[in-house]
Amino acid sequence: MNKVSFIYLSQEDVKKSGGMDMAQTIRDIEDVLVMRHNGECVVPHKVVLRKGTQGEESVSGRINALPGYLGGDKNIGGIKWVASFVQNPFKHGLPRSISLIAINSFETGVPLAIMDGTIISAMRTGAVAGVACKYLANVDARTVRMVGAGVIGRTVLMAVKAVLKAIEHIEIYDPSMERAEKFAEEMQDELGVPVSAADSAEKALPGKDTLVTATPAKEPYVKAQWATKGSLYRHMSGYECGYGVVSQSDKIVVDNWEDVKARNSQTPALMFHDGMLSDNDIHAEIAEIITGQKPGREMREERMFFNPGGMGVHDLIVANRIYETAKEEGYGKTLTLWDQPA
């Protein structure tokens, strides 16, 4: 009875176990946001491992550790170990982001599963944007305007399409026009909505519906006048917009304000540390809107700004669902940690 084993799930196993189900991932993320709000999660700050300065990450890369605990009927702890190397797609033919996720029983501490986390990480990031659309966008929004033809751009569009049924056109810009055109063709086939590539951010972004930036930018390029009245701007990644974009917003919403501040890489955090934004300027964490404690969009003309930092519990709730499905369906490989503890 002292034998300890766990399930190993490859990326293909994760996909077979529901890893690409965006509608379910959105439900997972909404659930875990509420769980955290109700005190059923432990969310330590992410740990960042880098060789140089934050500004040098685009060259040298980084690896983050995102631990967390899920209570309720889950009672698991776990961690996502995620490497982000921006040059991978261009130099090595690899994804920019490569992840592993481990989950453990919080009754005994034994490992339950180790799995590929690359798909989970991308899907849960897109799903957070989907939750934001559900509560902050105009329900009849018809256009999506985006910068960044990468993996996160793909999952964000999957999530937006799952939530906003009236979307009828998507515009995409990427510094590589070839990449943008390929992305547009593939996403049009996948989503069944016209997708076109623009040759500049200035042409792609300005609009009144939903705007998205998903780039590792170190210098801002989004201008205040591009986020017009009635828009929802989802600021997904780096230092992508100028301070004026944030300060003109009618409501600033985040997922975890303390985490966003601690990471200090996105525009609202930079503004806070420069004394240009206070805690009181944050309208809500999204869970407060989901639970009805604070209002989401109240007027059609409001400018809404959403900034997710990402939390390990996002990955863990999806990973736990995939683990349970894999166990039930017999996917993956059972590996032995020991037959008898030494």
Q: What single letter denotes the amino acid at residue 113?
A: A
Q: How many CA atoms lie within 13 A of 253 on its CB side?
A: 28
pLDDT at 214: 85
Give domain limits for the chain. 4-120+312-338, 124-307
Distance from C-alpha of 69 to C-alpha of 103, rounded to nearest angstrom: 9
The answer to whether 127 and 28 are in contact (CB under 8 A) is yes
Q: Return left, alpha or beta for 192; rule: phi > 0 is left, psi -120 to 50 is alpha, else beta.
A: left
pLDDT at 275: 94
pTM across the whole model: 0.92
Q: Which fold has domain 4-120+312-338?
A: ornithine cyclodeaminase, domain 1 (3.30.1780)
pLDDT at 337: 94
Q: Which fold has domain 124-307?
A: Rossmann fold (3.40.50)
pLDDT at 69: 98
The answer to whether 214 and 192 are in contact (CB under 8 A) is no
pLDDT at 199: 87
Q: Consecutive 10-residue runs of the chain (342 residues): their mean pLDDT?
A: 91 97 97 96 90 74 93 95 88 91 96 97 95 93 89 93 92 91 94 91 81 83 88 88 92 91 85 93 96 95 92 96 97 95 88
